[in-house]
Homo-oligomer: A and B are copies of this chain.
Amino acid sequence: MSKLWDKGYALDKLIEEFTVGEDPLLDQRLVAADCIASMAHAKMLAKIEILTPEEYGALRKELSAIVRLNRDGRFPIRREDEDCHTAIENRLIQTVGEAGKKIHTGRSRNDQVIAALRLYTRSFLLEFQEAALNLVQVLHAFAEKNKDLPMPGRTHLQVAMPSSIGLWAGAWVEELLDDLNLVDTAYALNNSCPLGSAASYGVPLPLDREMVAESLAFDRVQNNVLYVNNSRGKFESIVLDAVEQAVLTVSKLAQDLILFSLPEFGYFRLPDELFAGSSIMPQKKNPCMLELMRAKAATLSSCSAQVKSIIRALPSGYNRDFQETKAPFLRGLDLALITVRVMQAVIEKLAPDTERLRAGFTPDIYATDRALELVARGMPFREAYRAVGTDLGALEQGDPDQAIRRRGYTGTTGNLGLELAAKQLEQRREQLASRRRGIDAKLEALAGMAVSLHG
């Protein structure tokens, strides 16, 4: 007997392959989270006297053992087990006996899945925040170090106005910090406890949802039990949309690096180890990881769109369609995290080429400054604009350093405000550390051991 819902009839292999899909593989990463959630559920069942203290103790011990087995890659999920939840229950029945047959009292696989995903996602989001802050930090350091280094400012990819490395790098810093606001909102929504929803409609038992939420360090109980199931896919798409923004930011930064490190521009240099060769052309150094960032941003967008498309217009309550959201969700999370980490590695090794950057200041870059000089002498801007535009040949070579110093108001090359970002970065670091401490302490108390739920 391997499946919870097996009632004796033979299931066609094809149907099994179709309905089980990638779950046995994907669920490897949910094993620890499901064990922890099961401990909290069992602890609560003991409190309401459905389990004896001894039964709870035995289950907790065995669940800890499974966490360790999984950590060592020794808890396989067989295709016949369908998913980690069945595999774990089957093992508990096998090793603990009677208590194993009781642990599913008052819960359904659906809310197990949701609980495990929330715990996993919470852990992921903390790691993602750390990775994003690390990227912010190296970009900020790059901005600080080269803050007054002139760089041609471009629009439409064409030379536009005087700019600086400080402005360019600072822009990414601020964008990523803003992106983290979305991650915050997703984190807060995700950090609510679904357990007790059972199959969407609760059960006629005196479950203590607050106790379970507290054990698992959730910030709140997600109240309405039907809403719990209706939020499957929704929360996943919210998390994906949030991390997607950071990856979209990275995709644009990657595009700048691809273009501006071409010999034709030469603004940046990257070390050889960040390039890949060609199988046929001996001379090639290809910025493959930067190209893949562009492409992976598209992949991530499709993950989120897929999840939304699956849940759209579904009837309320659990539907199996939700299962199909697991793969794009987990795949999207992986991709977001590694993309941000690889970009950090790139920025750490990025070097500006001072000479080429200055050489990019051709006379036409000063056209607007010239028009504003005419304005200073009293000519209305629109006339000054025309005067300069009809005699572009008269533009002279200017001084890049002076040009970027002359922009002095908030947020411009002469007044970058990098200290504001530094402060935000520090505050976020502290918040992150505080969140981790609180969660780790509660989970360790529950499990009697330190537990890592992501990665």
Contact = CB atoms under 8 A, between A and B. Distances in A.
Contacts of A256: 315-316
Given A18-B292, A171-B230, A294-B313, A161 B201 contact: yes
Contact of A295 (B244, B284, B323): B323
A382 interface: yes
A279 to B, nearest CB: 4
Contacts of A89: 382
B410 A196 contact: yes
A68 B361 CA distance: 45
10 contacts: A12-B345, A21-B292, A89-B382, A101-B380, A101-B383, A155-B281, A196-B412, A206-B408, A282-B368, A282-B386
Interface stretch (A27-35, A216-224, A425-433): A216-224
Contact of A196 (B234, B367, B409): B409
Interface stretch (A269-277, A436-444, A446-454): A269-277
Contact of A315 (B252, B297, B389): B252
A382 B103 CA distance: 9
Nearest to A321: B295
A400 interface: no
Contact of A224 (B107, B174, B318, B383): B174
Given A160-B317, A238-B245, 16 more contacts: A9-B272, A9-B273, A19-B276, A19-B289, A86-B279, A104-B381, A105-B381, A108-B279, A159-B263, A197-B411, A209-B410, A223-B411, A223-B417, A225-B412, A294-B313, A295-B324
Nearest to A386: B282
Given A155-B278, A258-B157, A315-B154, A225 B382 contact: no
Nearest to A48: B409
Most central of A185, A262, A368, A375 by chain B CB within 10 Å: A368
A367 B283 contact: yes
A312 B283 contact: no
A392 interface: yes
A396 interface: no
A363 B33 CA distance: 36
A69 interface: no
Interface string A145-162: 000000001111111111
Interface string A88-112: 0100010000101111111111100
A210 interface: yes
A301 B205 CA distance: 40
